[in-house]
Structure 1
Amino acid sequence: MNDWKKKGVVYEIYVQSFNDTNDDGIGDIQGVIQKLDYLKELGVNILWLTPIFESPLVDNGYDISNYQSINNIYGTMEDVEELIKKSHDYNIKIVMDLVVNHTSDQHKWFQESKKSKDNKYSEYYIWRDPRPDGSAPTNHGSAFGGSAWEYVPERDQYYLHLFAKEQPDLNWDNKELRNEIYNMMSFWAEKGIDGFRMDSISFISKPQKFTNAPVVDNKEYGAYYYGIANGNNIHRYLKEMNERVLSKYDLITIGETPHTNTEEGSKFLDSNELDMIFQFEHMHVDYGKYGRYSDVSFKMSDLRESINHWQENLTWNSNYLGNHDQPRIVSRFGNDKKYREKSAKMLAMLTLFQRGTPFIYQGEEIGMTNVDFQSIDDMKDLEAHNTYDFLTRVGISSEKALDMVNRKTRDNSRTPMQWNASKNAGFTDGQPWIRINNNYKNINVEKDLLNKDSIYKFYQELISLRKSNDILINGDCKLLDLTDSDIITFTRNNNGEKILVICSFSDKRIKFDIPKEYKAMKLLISNYDSADFEGDVTTYLEPYEGRAYIIG
């Protein structure tokens, strides 16, 4: 992996909610350009932009109707070119979202494909005949509820959609379709972008046993991912992608790979198909009977076990706790009330000091929290509405269903960036596309920039340490004491030089025994006023305390 990739710190921008410069209530590309000074000062050097392409926005841009045209609510192609140039002037790389498991149903390809079985685009999507009784080929469900199959009378066939029915899945077995995608990727590489974050890339090759599978018994709709990830041709297609596009440019490749284990994940990395992958095992630690939408709290031991498993078995990780599809990390894994600042800093240390590329989602650097939505009508996310309807349909009270959806709705992370305490948090002078979190007057960038002990300043320091310390970049990562109920402890070791990292998840003051072999340690950073150690082996950690020591 190239040096710039290993030293990268990625900042994800949800463009729609980042910064609005034309007061239409929607963030835009000029808004990103306007904040480049802020991002440079924070210390990040790779920006991942969520989709800004032409789209009906059924799934907030992950339903693309034209890959080579910019949605005019975000700006123009000239704005994108300006962003690329100015970011590069700041030594900041630009990564675009590559959404090629599916398109919008408004895409030209699909509009033509659904007309007949014998046109140029007829096999660009996955079509199957009905069962003898006219019903869907299988009873697999989509991620957003209901069947994963939608009937089209013109063809007397069903098409597959793992997500919304407006997001038909592409047929990667079709060579002409793949050529179209590679040409599109080359178009963006020639524009000067520096990489792709590949949405749901582990789904592009569908195992035959899925699309031809028998009906899943005893369920109205089976899980959408049942047998779907990493089909027989996944590695062939990614190798072909490398040959046709990726090998010709200096691009970073970040694959989102749902339902991929470490053995399968290693194949992507070890064969140089991808630089790193997003896996979701640690995102499942608080799943319950109804999946992610539950009232279950995470167990720290499960989180630690997952981190340990992937650090042990993958050569390079994508380290993240939140993104545009997840709740706010301080609300989910920390304490967003009494210990919001302390727990946000501790979680930042956990993310930035593991082996691999750290990902920061916009607002994490100031400790933005979940939103207390008072009504399902306040939520914009399609998944939230479908889930709420499902939960009430199976007998859960509307109050309980709202509480369960509130905890995990993707809207928690999609509310506008809180820049200051002025109207609409400084995001827009217009009407925001989604409500602002009520706590913006207390939690905002301007306030953090004026406070020398703020979460933002702590992120700055962590990022600076990571970029300047070879141990934190190239050192291995070994988790210690896998039985402690409150603490995640790990070492980074590079050629005998070591750093010890201690992260407490307790809201109480707890005793901690320093490993006996570490007799003299110099404090590198802490979110409290902690001390160096000269032979002592017992200490006390304050609530949500995080420390890192240089050993020896």
Structure 2
Amino acid sequence: MAQNEWWKGAVIYQIYPRSFQDTTGDGIGDLNGIINRLDYIKSLGVDAVWISPFFKSPMKDFGYDISDYRDIDPMFGSIDDFDKLIEQAHQRDIKIIIDQVLSHTSNEHPWFIESRTDKHNAKADWYVWADAKPDGSPPNNWLSIFGGVAWQWEPRRCQYYLHNFLTEQPDLNFHNPEVRKAVLDNVKFWLDKGVDGFRLDAINFCFHDKQLRDNPAKPKALRQGRGFSEDNPYAFQYHYYNNTQPENLDFMAEIRMLLDQYPGTVSLGEISSEDSLQTMAEYTSGGDKLHMGYSFELLTDDYSAQYIRETVSRLEAVMTEGWPCWAFSNHDVQRVASRWSQDGKSVNPKQVKMLTALLGSLRGSVCMYQGEELGLGEAEVAFEDLQDPYGITFWPNFKGRDGCRTPMPWAGDKQNAGFTDGAPWLPVYEAHASKCVRSQEQDTSSTLSQYKSFLAWRATRPELLTGNIEFIPTHEPVLGFYRILGEKKLLCLFNLSEQTAEFEVEQHNYTPIKDLAHQTGEQAAGKVTLPGYGCFFASI
């Protein structure tokens, strides 16, 4: 593999900096906290870290509302701290990928402050402005992901502005070439700082339909998706016009042209559209757009061999040129250890270990969220402790994203599990303390130890890094596939239930991987017996 394609098959460890490690005692994690834990990150065997936003922000959406793209919010540190982080990470051969939130800014960004003053200023056309209908209502029926209409009245201009997310997150007008240039200049700033790539937040939301056409209604039976159940009106529409516009493909090419000037850098686009798999394929096609696409198809509640097989197979069918990236958890969804558990709440360490092996065996690169290596389940957060505006709005039917964002437990016997000496911004979940890093590092059978051992073994298997995938017809609850690279062929089997399952093997010369800690299946008499949440790997 070319050195510049290090990202193919890479394991990317996502850090939510607010909750990783606090070094100042203010209860909020910071850049120095990441620096202090780089040796731990190195020990995991990951290739890169993706750091969620740390830029200057009013924090209405915890950093995804940026008021200055070229500065660090003081709660996280300084530009000098970031320079040190890059240097220290690179010394350990860890790549640094940072979030870029391009489709919208904070309403406190200087661009928006100028744009809203009147209809004739230099930034007047930098955001999506529209006149009211004759009756004073918004220009169309578009809705915000966070609930309610996607338009906010601005009395200074006597117009509405578009916000696909919070009202404090106005959407930029990417039809304006000056906006695109300014946005790319901000991206270049961080490339010049030495970052190795970008996770591009909500990247398919950059362009809107110029005609501002209404989105069509969605039938009740189809109102489902990532947090978009029937209690959120966002689920009531097909979002054909407020995102994923054809013009966005040219902008993906502009991003790629910039990154190609910095060999070895990578773009990972977060994509959530009406057909996210198709959009991933389009946005990574031709070798001149994004390097990788990332969607929410495996961040849902659906946990079955059939669903995983069909989802990955469908992407394989349409993504003939690009490169996928898969995840089971991130900072926006319930932790997988709870979400896919038998009762949707409790955590089974055997299942967690199997899911690590499954995720790491799919074709593509992998994003793993902080705490996933510890087998952390979703935290219970009392209403009075909630910080997430999404959860506060939709409580109690949807409790928001705070349950997956609680602080990392480093040492169970320390105050706040070693996360901070102060009052943490979210409570440290008591059940997490017993799963802390310190105790798991001392236990060779722990979730953390097996996570490390699997990633170390995975790094030695080129079939798993860049090989093709070929699914095997199986019955629930067994998921099976081959990973193939040249003449190398690896059989991968997973039992997605807690009950013993069997798989009849073909008459091949299977050689089970006996030195793999995750290997729990047994081969005998033409079949593989998989214990509950077991897995089996064999060379052919």
Relative to the length of structure 2, the TM-score reads: 0.91
Residue 531 (structure 2) pairs with residue 523 (structure 1): no
Counterpart of 1:289 in structure 2 is: none
SS of equivalent residue, structure 2 residue 299: helix
2:536 aligned with 1:544: no
Q: Does 1:326 align with 2:342?
A: no
Which amino acid is the alignment partner of residue 390 of structure 2?
E
For 1:430-449, what aligned pairs fall within 5 Å after superposition? Answer: 430-449=422-441
Percent identity over the alignment is 32
- The aligned residue for residue 21 of structure 1 is 23
Shift of 1:223: 4.0
**Alignment correspondent of 2:416:** 424
Q: Which residue of 2 aligns with 1:277?
A: 293
Task: Answer yes or no: is the 8 Å Cα contact 1:420–1:440 preserved in 2.
Answer: no
Q: Distance in 2 between matches of 1:445 and 1:324?
A: 19
Change (3 A) 1:7 1:299: closer
SS in 1 for 2:323: coil
Q: Which residue of the partner structure matches residue 239 of structure 1?
A: 253
Instruction: Return the alpha-carbon distance in structure 1 between the equivalents of residues 446 and 390 of structure 2.
Output: 34
Within 2, Cα distance between the matches of 1:492 and 1:90? 30
Q: Give me the whole-angstrom Cα distance separating, in 2, the residues matched to 1:520 and 1:536.
A: 12
Contact 1:327 1:413 in 2 (8 A): yes
The corresponding residue for 1:292 is: none
Match of 1:258 in 2: 272
Distance 1:459 1:176 in 2: 46
Shift of 1:339: 6.0
1:360 to partner: Cα distance:
1.0
Deviations 1:303-347 (A, max 9, x none): 332123223432421011011111111111235887621111100
CA distance in 2, matches of 1:339, 1:383: 25
- Partners of 1:99 and 1:18 in 2: CA distance: 21
Counterpart mapping for 1:222-371 below 5 A = 222-223=236-237, 225-259=239-273, 260-272=275-287, 273-286=289-302, 298-314=303-319, 315-335=322-342, 340-371=348-379
SS in 2 for 1:360: strand
The farther-off stretch of 217-226 and 12-21 is 217-226
TM-score normalised over the length of structure 1: 0.89
Give the 3-state SS of the residue equivalent to 1:502 in structure 2: strand
Question: Please, which runs of 5 or more residues in structure 1 have no aligned partner?
Answer: 287-297, 389-401
Q: 2: CA distance between counterparts of 1:239 and 1:503?
A: 38
**Matches of 1:196 and 1:339, distance apart in 2:** 32
Match for residue 213 of structure 1? 214
- Aligned amino acid, residue 445 of structure 2: D
Written as runs of structure 1 = structure 2, the 5 A alignment for 1:43-442 is: 43-208=45-210, 211-213=212-214, 222-223=236-237, 225-259=239-273, 260-272=275-287, 273-286=289-302, 298-314=303-319, 315-335=322-342, 340-373=348-381, 375-388=382-395, 402=396, 404-406=397-399, 409-421=400-412, 422-442=414-434
Does the Cα contact within 8 Å between 1:519 and 1:536 map onto a contact in 2? no
**2:407 aligns to what SS in structure 1?**
coil
Q: What's the CA shift for 1:371?
A: 1.4
Pick closer, same or farther for the CA change 1:212–1:155 going to 2, 3 Å.
farther
Partner of 2:223: none
Secondary structure of residue in 1 paired with 2:124: coil
d(CA) in 2 for partners of 1:33 and 1:77? 14
Please report how far the alpha carbon of residue 453 of structure 1 lies from its aligned counterpart in structure 2 after TM superposition. 1.1
Please tell me whether the aligned partners of residues 499 and 549 of structure 1 are also in contact (alpha carbons under 8 angstroms): yes
What letter is aligned with 1:497? K
Q: CA deviation at 1:353?
A: 1.1
Say which is worse superposed, 74-83 or 453-462, in terms of deviation: 453-462
Partner of 1:475: 467
Bigger helix fraction: 1
Aligned residues of 1:488 and 1:503 also touching (Cα < 8 A)? yes
Structure 2 counterpart SS, 1:518: coil
Find the residue that maps to 1:489 and give its secondary structure. strand
User: Among 480, 489, 497, which residue is 1:489 paired with?
Assistant: 480
Alignment: residue pair count: 518
Letter in 1 for 2:296: F
Q: For 2:493 and 2:529, how far apart are their aligned partners in 1?
A: 12
* Aligned-partner SS, 1:38: helix
In the alignment, structure 2 segments of 5+ residues that lack a partner are 220-231
Q: Any idea what SS the aligned residue of 1:69 has?
A: strand
Seen in structure 2, the aligned counterparts of structure 1 residues 440 and 241 have a Cα distance that, compared at 3 Å, is closer
Relative distance call for 1:246 and 1:101 in structure 2 (3 A) is: farther
